[in-house]
Amino acid sequence: MTAFNGAHYRQRPIPDVVREFQLIREKHVLVVDDNLIGTRPEHIARAKALFRAMAEVNLGKEWIAQATINFADDEELLALAAKAGCRGVFIGFESPTAEGLRELGKKFNLLKGRDFRASVRRIQRHHILVAGSFIIGLDIDEPGIGKRIAEVAGQYGVDNLNALFLTPLPGTRLWDQMKSEGRIALDTFPEDWKYYTLTFPVARYKNLSLDGIIQEMISCDRTFYSMPRILRRVWSNLWQQRKPLISLVGNLSYRSNLRLNCKAYADFKSSVRVGV
């Protein structure tokens, strides 16, 4: 968040990044950067230079990162990322509606003529898996949003879906807004910090009750990770020669977490209602 990290896009020297990659012993790496490629032309140029440097030293590693949907707009960028070892990317689609995107200020997702399915396909053609992230709990969201997100994610063709609850973090504009409206449900710190993981509904949502928003999340996950849909995605990856085994393992892993999530939600509701 900009309140903590600042509003400027900071870049480390490329040799330092490559050297750090070389020092990592594991073969599979998660790049912890909110947006690895940046947003402006000079950011994209720098990302290309980074990927070229990574490819030149032949790191022998496979990695996943986070980026905005404009990752799909540059074929050279995609080719260089794949050559450098990129095997997956988390992309924040955030909302299935234009109203929701405007609420969040996701300008790249609102570009006129943006075809999300085509964008996802362009990334996948470079054998890079796409995990789509969505948020449940926007003011625009109403009952049925969970299933709608699952359906739209399926239409986009993402390999995995990661839905999160809208979470107002202290120091953000969202926190200030919801605090002024008396919509922060859990604000006893440090005790309540354990719930600020984006995986619990810590606020009061405009059109969804506590039980309601949890049911929307469960509906979202159960719909997207139903066995028939998993098999269709794996078959598509097999047909297109895009790491079907990784797709299968990833989808089954998400599916296996459904029961654990339901238990966690039940415990959460019990704790909230007894004031723990």
HSE-up of residue 176 (Cα within 13 Å, Cβ side): 4
Rounded Cα distance, 68 and 132, in Å: 10
| Helix spans in the chain (H) | 2-5, 14-23, 41-56, 75-84, 98-104, 116-124, 145-156, 173-180, 210-224, 227-239, 244-274
Rounded Cα distance, 160 and 247, in Å: 8
In terms of phi and psi (left: phi > 0; alpha: psi -120 to 50; beta: otherwise), the region of 275 is left
3-state secondary structure of 128: coil
Q: What is the pLDDT along the chain (276 residues), one digit of tens a residue?
A: 566 566 677 788 999 999 999 999 999 999 998 899 988 899 999 999 999 999 999 899 999 999 999 999 999 999 999 999 999 999 999 999 989 988 888 766 776 678 999 999 999 999 999 999 999 999 999 999 999 999 999 999 999 999 999 999 998 999 999 999 999 999 999 999 999 999 999 999 999 999 999 999 999 999 999 999 999 998 887 777 677 778 888 899 999 999 999 999 999 998 887 554
Give the CATH H-level superfamily of domain 15-166+205-274.
Answer: tm_1862 like domain (3.80.30.20)
- pLDDT of res. 247: 83
Q: Two tokens at 58?
A: 């032949």
Report how far apart, in Å, the C-alpha atoms of 178 and of each of 4, 136, 195, 250, 275 are: 18, 16, 17, 35, 20
- pLDDT of res. 276: 46
Instruction: Note the pTM of the prediction, 2 decimals.
Output: 0.90
- pLDDT of res. 227: 95
Whether the Cβ atoms of residue 219 and residue 147 lie closer than 8 Å to each other: yes
Q: Which pairs with CB-CB distance under 8 Å and at least 24 residues apart come from 186-193?
A: 186/272
Question: Could you tell me which of 105, 109, 104, 108 has the C-alpha nearest to residue 136?
Answer: 104
HSE-up of residue 77 (Cα within 13 Å, Cβ side): 20
Rounded Cα distance, 217 and 147, in Å: 8
